[in-house]
Chain A
């Protein structure tokens, strides 16, 4: 394994342990490493977007017709975000991106996430299909706003709450599962060769930090 790769793994494991020090308490080491990764991530996003857009899209298009040069000034109009007087020019590129985003999913959201959902529910094979339909109708009715949920509607809305709560229970279960897997990956990395060399270093630093905290608390109590 080359020097560069070993070095980057050691820095990565130092980074992981420094950020884990947040569990002890928020400290300067944690804040410095966190700012390092926010800066590096923003830097990476900027250069990889710029390079791919130039190589794959702008350069080949410029060869075909000079009209493509117009995309550059329109793109630079984003920078009017920072001007007090001409802020409204920033709205032109934003209008293009929001408009196209709205357009591409305008009909498709209505078909896939509304009409196809209703059609899918209409096919009822067994009692579980009936339960699914009842659950969806009552849970959807729970959000009905312009009518008091009194009389018979109270039971419909109450049943809807039961289905929502069971579904949210599954949501909490999967969220816990997800967080466990996240930490397992970090633990696997820390236990891998050469990353685990940093663990004793971190433990020593932690011990010093805890000892300094303990001494500071001791001095404070004696002073009082």
Chain B
């Protein structure tokens, strides 16, 4: 028991008798229901009872087309993961898209250059790409020197990516991961060498810059959906299924509420705020 600091009068609570803080009853019930729903949905998917089918995003077709074009023009494909590390949903999705891209490059006998900023990504990405090249039966295509750790600092690493793109002249630029202001520098670099650019990030401040400068952009959560579509990993499939259930509940409550409340039946509006 951590001792409370003596010599300090406790805050006199206006209504000590009432145990629950006002306005949170509906929230507590709703949160507990959602918790059970998420846990159950993941459990059932892992057990194979639930088989969620994730829709194929147009962004993934764009990746296939970009790698095909790179192979025709005999120019490399450049994949950049930005400042993202190796943990968290954004990193997992970015690594899944990287595995997919490396596998496609191996199958089409195309060269892949991978650049990143967070040092922790180095070992994880290296053996992920090597594995993909072996599976795509083009093991001799894997070149360790094409895995480029540029720098931990935002401006230094973005200057590094700019230089790399101008020198190597890739036919396809793929940006999947965590980006900040430097997204603008990359948009310009791809334009100068005439590369197809596909991007995906969850930072809503950065997404618009990718939308206006790239050929295709996966917006916020679409990137995580794409990662799960590729990896087909049971836990992630269960999570996406749970998220869609929660989205459905939210949309239904909103739909009913927006029909009833303007008509004066404020039952749902009041009970949610109790």
How big is the A interface, by class? 35 or more
- The yes or no answer to B97 lying at the interface (CB within 8 A) is no
- Find A168's partner among B207, B241, B269 (CB 8 Å cutoff): B207
- The yes or no answer to A183 lying at the interface (CB within 8 A) is no
Q: Determine if B244 and A118 form an interchain contact, defined as CB atoms under 8 angstroms apart.
A: no
Q: Determine if A121 and B27 form an interchain contact, defined as CB atoms under 8 angstroms apart.
A: no
- The yes or no answer to A110 lying at the interface (CB within 8 A) is yes
CB distance from B53 to the nearest CB of A (A): 6
Residues on the B chain within 8 Å of A217, using CB: none
Residues on the A chain within 8 Å of B6, using CB: 64-65
Known A38-B153, A122-B257; contact A146-B52, beta-carbon cutoff 8 A: yes
CB distance from B83 to the nearest CB of A (A): 15
**Closest A residue, CB atoms, query B53:** A146
Docked complex Cα distance between A164 and B228 (Å): 23
Docked complex Cα distance between A168 and B220 (Å): 12
- The yes or no answer to B247 lying at the interface (CB within 8 A) is yes
Q: Determine if A145 and B243 form an interchain contact, defined as CB atoms under 8 angstroms apart.
A: yes
- The yes or no answer to B137 lying at the interface (CB within 8 A) is no
Docked complex Cα distance between A113 and B153 (Å): 33
- The yes or no answer to A159 lying at the interface (CB within 8 A) is no
Residues on the A chain within 8 Å of B54, using CB: 145-146
CB distance from B9 to the nearest CB of A (A): 14
- The yes or no answer to B192 lying at the interface (CB within 8 A) is no
- Find A119's partner among B5, B155, B156, B272 (CB 8 Å cutoff): B272
Interface positions of A (Cβ within 8 A of B): 22, 26, 31, 34, 38, 60-61, 64-65, 67-68, 106-107, 110-111, 114-116, 118-119, 121-124, 133, 136-137, 140-149, 164-165, 168-169, 171-172, 175
Interface positions of B (Cβ within 8 A of A): 2-3, 5-7, 23-24, 26-28, 30-31, 34, 52-55, 153, 155-156, 159, 204-205, 207-209, 211-212, 219-222, 225, 228, 240-241, 243-244, 247, 250-251, 253-255, 257-258, 261-262, 268-269, 272-273
Q: Could you give 11 example pairs across A and B, Cβ below 8 Å? A: A65-B3, A107-B24, A110-B27, A118-B254, A122-B254, A140-B251, A145-B240, A146-B54, A146-B240, A147-B55, A172-B212
